[in-house]
Amino acid sequence: MTTAIIIIAVALVVAAAVYFFLVRGGSGGGRGLRGRFGPEYDRVVERHGGDTKAAEHELGERVKRHGDLEKRPLTEAARADYTARWARTQEQFVESPQQALHEADALLADLSRDRGFPGESFEDRTEALSVHHAHHVDGYRRVHTARNDSTGTEEMREAFVEARGLFDALIADGPAPRDHGNQQLTKGRGTP
């Protein structure tokens, strides 16, 4: 009987520790979530009017819902198709930035669904993506917003370049490479 009580007590302590470190971020409270979500953390705090407790609750709920999501691998054919689509979209940017943003937005939605990220709506999809790709999801948001705005060409170019980080992260099995290969759209090289 005593052994069973000890086992249960140890299991509860371990479960509490896992929750504390994964959701709350260890001894630093929000520092774990801030580190995990980066700019997404700041965006959510701002959306909650500076209420870090509410923002951390929301982000913790996202981790609970999407943290154990298993990404589906892409076949080599699908990877090649998406890479070709991105290259065509990037080339299209020079002639029609607005249309290229529409294409990039649709491509990222398709790619994220193929990788197993849930979400029928844009917001649901970006919430799931933010748990696994928080440092890149803002580019997707910027493309989604800029595609219908009267945003200037430079802002559209910046959004497109930033969205490439999410594209690279979703195409790769690991983290996105630092150099996104957007030579055509990088300042000073074929900038529209």
pLDDT in tens, the chain (192 residues): 677 666 765 555 555 544 444 444 443 445 688 888 888 899 999 999 999 999 999 999 999 988 888 889 999 999 999 999 999 999 999 999 999 999 999 999 999 999 999 878 999 999 999 999 998 999 999 999 988 777 788 999 999 999 999 999 999 864 333 444 444 444 443 444
pLDDT value at position 9?
57
Structure pTM?
Answer: 0.72
State the Cα–Cα distance between residues 161 and 190, nearest whole angstrom.
13
For 152-170, give one letter per residue: b (16+ CB within 10 A) or e: eeeebbbbbbbbbbbbbbb
- 28, two tokens: 């630093």
pLDDT score, position 182:
46
Phi/psi at 188 (nearest 5 deg)? Answer: 85, -5
d(CA 106, CA 154): 21
Four-point Cα dihedral 178, 184, 188, 192, nearest 10: -130
Residues 31, 27: Cα–Cα separation, whole Å: 8
Radius of gyration of the chain (CA): 20
State the DSSP code for 96.
-
The tokens for 25 are: 């971020």
CA 133 – CA 131 distance, rounded (Å): 6
pLDDT of residue 141: 92
